Structure 1
Amino acid sequence: MAIVFVAVRVLLGFFFMVVGATKLTDRISPTLYAEAVDEFVKFADVFPLNDVGVKLDPMDYQLVVGWIELIGGLLLAFGNKALQEISNIFLSILMMGELYSFLILKEEPFLCLPSACTLGLLLLLLYIWERDRKKQKTE
């Protein structure tokens, strides 16, 4: 069973590395990059801190999220246990923010599926790590 969770962790890491890289450059896929630019223009408009005067530049927002996904995915796939957990938390927060943005923008429900699935898998990994930590303490 442990090999399944390692595979999930590594595949999620690769997924986030690819998604993050496509947000950073148009050399991988110009179409996906253009779609990301359009999405981040909308996401910047509904950013929760806009109400208190924090206005985000969509391109800077996209770059920050892209780097967090790229580095977080790398650490999730290949980092030590502590770095995996930290990157998992950061990536989970990003997925929650993306889901929030989709819901505020009233996007089609099927657009939320990738974010919801990756968030579910990330939270599952956190749960398994915590369960294993509790098992080790009791032994």
Structure 2
Amino acid sequence: MAKILALDFGKKRTGIAVTDDLQIIASGLTTVETPKLISFLLNYSKKETVETIVIGKPKQMNYSDSESEVLILAFIKKLKGAFPKTPIVREDERFTSKMAFQTMIDGGLSKKKRQNKALIDEISATIILQSYLYNK
């Protein structure tokens, strides 16, 4: 089986998570500077088979699109050009950053490590992917 990849897209950096080959467990992969994201994904897909790409869909509390949705849609257009045969799906990402931060606290990470925004993005991508797997 191929892997499923999830992205917590951000203007500066994007958290990335991936499943195991059986698509059971979501694990954080890394965080990449967003301008280098397509290049990273192309290189990653040369080593690993990616079946689906899941991208977080930020929503406001009233279910309207977040202001970052415009940036995400522009990115998805580029992503479809780079991966024309790979399905791209969206998954609600409300509260993932707060959940990621709480996960860090629950995991006993020090205050200094909890300030690592890249780690929060990676954990957020993992939560997005786990949510997708659960709802799939």
Q: Tell me whether the two structures share a fold, i.e. TM-score over 0.5.
A: no
Q: More relative contact order in 1 or in 2 (CA 8 Å, sep 6+)?
A: 2
With the length of structure 2 as denominator, give the TM-score of the two structures: 0.29
Point out the structure with the larger helix share. Answer: 1
TM-score (norm 1): 0.29
Q: Decide which structure has greater strand share.
A: 2
